[in-house]
Structure 1
């Protein structure tokens, strides 16, 4: 597997030199300064690629070229934005960056309620707390009809939770949920998010899924022409939030996407943390079922709770058997004679970075360095065992 590292560009507090010191060979990055919906210019891609290569690294994966909400709703200027997306994909191929990770989540990108969940070893993890989310949806946002999406037990737990929160805690929860997290696609106010949510609820799951298929039918031929592989990222978390449709949460969702546009340029990102937040997702089975379409891997682990809550665990210590998953991925590589870029996804906040103002949630240097070293050990061991057989 190709060890990569997510880098947020020249403004990232973690330098390319530090990434090289961590032992990663590839960079996962994006032109974050380009407004969502605008086309990426070839010169800008080449300039960023040159900067990465100057540090002795390779730009392995673009994560991501964001998909404008007008494309997801097929309204407004969606035709213009699709043409811009096709231009961006073509220019990525011309620049020699041949893998593009993207997502098709409505309104909110990856979502957590607590960005500083203290662990027994005093490091901090990202957490999704269901009672906090329900409390926000029902009692703060006051989304029409929200109560119907939850059980009486969830509503009561949320009521107790909101009654025990200070105004400052409520505002922090709101910021965590709707203000946008690193690598996401923007933020909302309390009023604007209600409007956006209702627009997607009105679409329904199948219409929203068909909008994804229509997008792919237009973009995949361009990707094919320029040797680019698109790999969709699963929903995070992989279940409905705010009553919104979700179409990349399960193995069946992945199958529908692959079958809708049967092209080698239409692939998947295996995000172990996202798929792994659902107990009914078998990650090894997903990898084996779509072995020729897994083009990019996020390796992180979660510990799930019965009500849908979860927190991000150590990379080798969670509900996902990481050793079995990596073993399956290595066998896929051998079967198809390829190398899959992987990155240690997220990391605990620890050591001297605790309290630092410039650390992006989930993207600490020390936490990801720890995760990368653990994953590297598993990969080396499995490769050595395979060679000895």
Structure 2
């Protein structure tokens, strides 16, 4: 795998100098300052390339911009409302500009309203560190008592409704504001967080959109942009829902292997693939992660490696982001499956046999605790994760082990 690192731009507390010392070979980035739906111009794209290629002292970093994460699909595009057709045309222009600069892999997602959702961005761990957590009871407290969504009680068990009421009752005004801010934070690095009124307005518009309709809108989006991606040699890869189950009564369409197969079969193309995120998919105990790689690996264009620890084996439940080798995801088996897929690609002569990966998220430890970086993206925590993952990859990729015997049996 090609080891990459997510970087949010010049304001990221992890510098390009830090990334070079971490040993990553490439950068995953996006133009977060450009409003969603607006064309990414050659000038802005070129500026980001230059920022990545240069250290503080002006010397070359040796790093390249390898993956775009993310080129946003707007809410209008998902709902097929407002300026959605123009947004699609702008999306294709942005793809052309990115491809002209040498970029071939573009990650995106199709989650309605809330791109990723956590209830606690700095949950205290027994070892003194912190991490991100999703607690279904706290989320229900937000849904029922902060957002006050009509009919929300029907989406939870009686036990969750009761516990949500107890927890909300224990919050002071500051706690209520913190919970609301955590849930509505939006994409990492994005400047477009939402107010409660924004969320309510989106929910009202999504009220008439079923899961089947959202999936049909997704297929329409792909039918519009995939031919351009094919022409440009660009590989589009959709990130799974995070968490991979319905929230706020909204439909979600990329939570399971069956969801991915449906979408990739609907628009069959080498340019229509998946971002394989072990953390998002691993929240569901019914997702067989190594099996997904074995069956759909030929369509995996980008890999996020992170781990989660579930409170129980409920499909819809609570979890926290664990150490990379310490959660419910069998990371060793997953990496073995990815290395097998890379070897299949190499044997088939595919130019994309080295799949870009990044250590996704990380726990705040040591100096991270006082740095207050982008939630989920601490410098030291990710460095620790990359080191752990790198060790597993090095073992499976070592010639003396023989992939077809040792790794294949894991």
Q: Which residue of 2 aligns with 1:42?
A: 42
Q: Which residue of 2 aligns with 1:221?
A: 227
Matches within 5 A, 1:235-250: 235-250=241-256
- Aligned match of 1:323 in 319, 326, 332? 332
> Could you tell me the TM-score, scaled by structure 1's length?
0.97
Q: Is the 8 A contact 1:109 1:185 kept in 2?
A: no
The answer to whether the aligner puts 1:86 opposite 2:92 as a matched pair is yes
- Aligned match of 2:376 in 357, 362, 367? 362
Q: 3-state DSSP class of the match of 1:12?
A: coil
- Aligned match of 2:361 in 317, 342, 346? 346
Q: 3-state DSSP class of the match of 1:317?
A: coil
> Could you tell me the TM-score, scaled by structure 2's length?
0.92
Using the TM superposition, give the Cα deviation of residue 181 of structure 1 relative to its aligned residue in structure 2, in angstroms. Answer: 4.7
The answer to whether the aligner puts 1:376 opposite 2:385 as a matched pair is no
Q: 3-state DSSP class of the match of 1:203?
A: coil
Residue deviations 1:76-104, cap 9 Å, x none? 00011000000011111111100000001
Q: 3-state DSSP class of the match of 1:302?
A: strand
The answer to whether the aligner puts 1:287 opposite 2:287 as a matched pair is no
Matches within 5 A, 1:247-262: 247-262=253-268
Q: Which residue of 1 aligns with 2:402?
A: 386
Using the TM superposition, give the Cα deviation of residue 387 of structure 1 relative to its aligned residue in structure 2, in angstroms. Answer: 6.3
Q: Is the 8 A contact 2:186 2:192 kept in 1?
A: yes
Q: Which residue of 2 aligns with 1:18?
A: 18
Q: Is the 8 A contact 1:238 1:278 kept in 2?
A: yes
Q: Is the 8 A contact 2:359 2:386 kept in 1?
A: yes
Residue deviations 1:341-370, cap 9 Å, x none? 00000011111121324x110010000000
Q: C-alpha separation between the residues in 2 aligned to 1:102 and 1:192?
A: 22
Q: 3-state DSSP class of the match of 2:298?
A: coil
Q: 3-state DSSP class of the match of 1:127?
A: strand
Using the TM superposition, give the Cα deviation of residue 14 of structure 1 relative to its aligned residue in structure 2, in angstroms. Answer: 1.1
Q: Which residue of 1 aligns with 2:56?
A: none
Residue deviations 1:132-178, cap 9 Å, x none? 00011011111011111111111111111111222211110000001
Q: Is the 8 A contact 2:32 2:190 kept in 1?
A: no
Q: C-alpha separation between the residues in 2 aligned to 1:300 and 1:17?
A: 23
Query: 5+ residue gaps in structure 2?
Result: 54-59, 347-352, 406-410
Q: C-alpha separation between the residues in 2 aligned to 1:37 and 1:212?
A: 16
Q: Is the 8 A contact 2:117 2:134 kept in 1?
A: yes
Q: C-alpha separation between the residues in 1 aligned to 2:294 and 2:189?
A: 28
Matches within 5 A, 1:60-139: 60-139=66-145
Using the TM superposition, give the Cα deviation of residue 285 of structure 1 relative to its aligned residue in structure 2, in angstroms. Answer: 1.2
Q: Is the 8 A contact 2:120 2:179 kept in 1?
A: yes
Q: Is the 8 A contact 1:36 1:185 kept in 2?
A: no
Q: Which residue of 1 aligns with 2:345?
A: 336
Note the aligned Cα RMSD (angstroms): 1.3
Q: Which residue of 1 aligns with 2:57?
A: none
Q: Say which is worse superposed, 324-333 or 153-162, in terms of deviation.
A: 153-162
Using the TM superposition, give the Cα deviation of residue 184 of structure 1 relative to its aligned residue in structure 2, in angstroms. Answer: 4.7
Residue deviations 1:26-51, cap 9 Å, x none? 10000111110001112321232233
Using the TM superposition, give the Cα deviation of residue 388 of structure 1 relative to its aligned residue in structure 2, in angstroms. Answer: 10
Q: C-alpha separation between the residues in 1 aligned to 2:341 and 2:207?
A: 38
Q: C-alpha separation between the residues in 2 aligned to 1:117 and 1:182?
A: 17
Q: Is the 8 A contact 1:110 1:184 kept in 2?
A: no
Q: Is the 8 A contact 2:3 2:358 kept in 1?
A: yes
Q: C-alpha separation between the residues in 2 aligned to 1:127 and 1:232?
A: 23
Q: C-alpha separation between the residues in 2 aligned to 1:153 and 1:198?
A: 27
Q: Which residue of 2 aligns with 1:230?
A: 236
Q: Is the 8 A contact 2:189 2:374 kept in 1?
A: no
Query: 5+ residue gaps in structure 1?
Result: none
Q: Say which is worse superposed, 236-245 or 9-18, in terms of deviation.
A: 9-18
Q: 3-state DSSP class of the match of 2:39?
A: coil
- For these two proteins, the number of residue pairs brought into alignment is 388
- Aligned match of 1:304 in 310, 323, 346? 310
The answer to whether the aligner puts 1:146 opposite 2:162 as a matched pair is no
